[in-house]
Amino acid sequence: MVAWRCLYDRYAPLVLRFASALGVPAEEREDAVQDIFIAVFRSLKHFRGEAQLSTWIYRIAARHAIRLGRRRRARETMRVAMMKEKPPIVTDPSERSTQLATLDRMLGKLPPKKRAVLVLFEIEGLSAKEISDVVGCPENTVWSRLHHARSEMVKAARRMAS
């Protein structure tokens, strides 16, 4: 249990940051981190050391976050269909939170696969090789997704800025 605790202490902040950047909403983040670590501990016996432990954890986290995102989008579609009007537009006085909220909105416009690559590269600092291990695609695909994700992000930012 001590080893598990060390592993948790080391990777929980990373997993939380990753889940946030992949669009897991705040109220679901705690549960998401919990589920990811339960999955990590239960699958630890299958970890063969072929990739770095962090890469392996990111892989589990990415799968979980994408699955959550799919469920959330389905719920959102239902909600929008049932709503008469949009919720009020709200602003946050904290500059830091506003910038993060803006980033989340921009990331939210990216397709999940491109988003995962951009987040892993730009926020988590993984190499293209490591990302290809996490998302399960060739390294060249990682570079191409990253290129598209970057240009879509800048376009989204320009639309927001204007």
Partner 1 sequence: MKWLDEPQDEAERLVREGLDLAKQRLGDELMHRRVWAKVAETAETPEPRSTRRWLWTSAAATLLAAAGLFAYVRIYRVTSLPSTPTVATNTPPSTAPLPVAPAGTAVGSETEIVPLESERGPGNVIRAREGERLRVALGGGATAELEEKSAMTWDSQHRPTIQRGIARLAVPHQPPGWRFSVTAGPYVVTVVGTKFEVRVSNRTVGVDVTEGVVEVWRNSHSTRLAAGESWHGPLYPDEAASTSESASSVSSAAPERPQPLPAAAKPLSSATARSLQEAETALQAGDAAKAIEILSRTAQGTGPAAENAAYELGHITRYNLNRPRQAVALWDKYRNRFPNGLLRTETDLSIVETLSQMGEVQAALAEANTFLTHHPNSERRLDVQRLAERLRAQAATEAK
Residues near partner 1 (CB under 8 A) are 1, 4-5, 8-9, 12-14, 16-17, 20-21, 25-27, 29-30, 33-34, 37-38, 41-42, 79, 82-85, 87-88, 90-104, 106, 122-123, 150, 153-154, 157-158, 160-161
CB of 66 to partner 1, least distance (A): 18
Surface-to-core class of residue 150, CB atoms within 10 Å of its CB (0-12 exposed, 13-18 middle, 19+ buried) = middle
The alpha helices in 26-138, defined as continuous H runs, are 26-43, 53-82, 95-108, 112-118, 128-135
CA distance 44 to 26: 27
Residues 6+ apart with CB under 8 A from 137: 145
Q: CB nearer to partner 1: give 134 or 146.
A: 146
CB 124 within 8 A of CB 27: no
Q: Is the dihedral angle over the CA atoms 10, 131, 39, 49 positive or is it negative?
A: negative
CB of 117 to partner 1, least distance (A): 13
CB of 133 to partner 1, least distance (A): 21
Q: CB nearer to partner 1: give 50 or 94.
A: 94
CB of 151 to partner 1, least distance (A): 11
Residue 156 CB coordination number (10 Å): 17
Q: CB nearer to partner 1: give 45 or 48.
A: 45
CB 135 within 8 A of CB 116: yes
Q: CB nearer to partner 1: give 52 or 151.
A: 151
Q: CB nearer to partner 1: give 76 or 136.
A: 76
CB of 18 to partner 1, least distance (A): 10
